[in-house]
Amino acid sequence: MCICQVSFAQMSYVADTLVSSGLPCKGQFIITDHQGNAYRTVQIGSQCWMAENMRCTTSPSGRHWYHNPSFTSHSPMFVPYVKEHRVTQYGNLYNWAAAMDLDERTAKKVDAKYHRGICPDGWHLPTTEEWTILFNALQGTRMAGSLMKCPSSLWESQAVTLDKECGFSAMPAGTYTEEGLVNLGFNAQFWSATSFDRNMAWYCGVYSYNNNSENNLDYKCYGCSVRCVCDE
């Protein structure tokens, strides 16, 4: 048996190469949702992620969705980007109930793990723990955001020049609040499946003005982007 001895510097280089290569997941280059929308995938560390934001406009389970209703925490809604090129670039924004594919009654209680939500079959809405695994694969919360951003002029300002990225290709789709669409070009917010309380849930945030990516809290009634991670 030959035992390879690799220096720490070499291991670091190999890890960086794998993380920044943006390679699709083995055997799952493209996945489709229940409406037939196709999404690229990317392998980052031990996890297989969608490399694009969800674009579906109906619930996989047939639940009724509202379009831009008055704000309540538990009525499922999505916010469509009206122009087709915007949908292709940014996906759509969903409140937490829609992202989790829950009705008004169950959305008040659930704190699900490996919850499919609006994700394709075999995929699920990530928990805060799974977002943290992603951050750790990308040099931790202080640097993960710089690697998760797509190197695009759609970001209004960038804290660093992106000479490489991991293939996650975070898009600055902003957030939908009671004030309408805010932070387009500046923020990307992705829901997690982890509820905090009746009114708030955790999300992953990526920002134009720094290199960070971290778990934060926001109101369940707000509209955020959705990315899915493959079931183990």
Q: Establish if 88 belongs to a structural domain.
A: yes
Q: Establish if 7 belongs to a structural domain.
A: no
Of residues 231 and 164, the one with the higher pLDDT is 231
Percent of the chain whose pLDDT exceeds 90: 53
Rg (C-alpha) for the chain, rounded Å, is 18
Of residues 106 and 221, the one with the higher pLDDT is 221
Question: In Å, what is the CA distance from 170 to each residue of 134, 164, 174, 206, 223?
Answer: 13, 13, 11, 8, 16
pLDDT at 14: 32
Average pLDDT over residues 29-56: 96
Full domain range(s) for residue 131: 24-230
Separation between Cα atoms, residue 170 and residue 190, nearest integer Å: 9
The count of domains in the chain is 1
Question: In Å, what is the CA distance from 144 to each residue of 31, 39, 135, 156, 168?
Answer: 25, 22, 5, 18, 10
Q: Establish if 204 belongs to a structural domain.
A: yes
pLDDT at 164: 65
Separation between Cα atoms, residue 151 and residue 208, nearest integer Å: 11
Burial of 28 (0-12, 13-18, 19+ CB in 10 A): middle
Average pLDDT over residues 31-53: 96
- Confidence tier at 66 by pLDDT (50, 70, 90): confident
Strand partners, 76: none
DSSP secondary structure letter of residue 63:
-
Separation between Cα atoms, residue 14 and residue 193, nearest integer Å: 32
Helix residue ranges per DSSP H, 21-160: 84-90, 96-99, 128-137, 141-148
Q: Establish if 10 belongs to a structural domain.
A: no
Q: What are phi and psi of 63, to 5 degrees?
A: -70, 150
pLDDT for residue 177 is more than 50: yes
Q: Establish if 16 belongs to a structural domain.
A: no
Separation between Cα atoms, residue 150 and residue 51, nearest integer Å: 10
Q: Establish if 12 belongs to a structural domain.
A: no
**Average of per-residue pLDDT values in the chain:** 83
Whole-model pTM? 0.85
Average pLDDT over residues 81-106: 85
What are 123-170's pLDDT values in tens digits?
A: 999 999 999 999 999 988 888 998 999 877 888 876 555 556 789 999
Q: Establish if 169 belongs to a structural domain.
A: yes
pLDDT for residue 88 is more than 90: no
Q: Establish if 8 belongs to a structural domain.
A: no
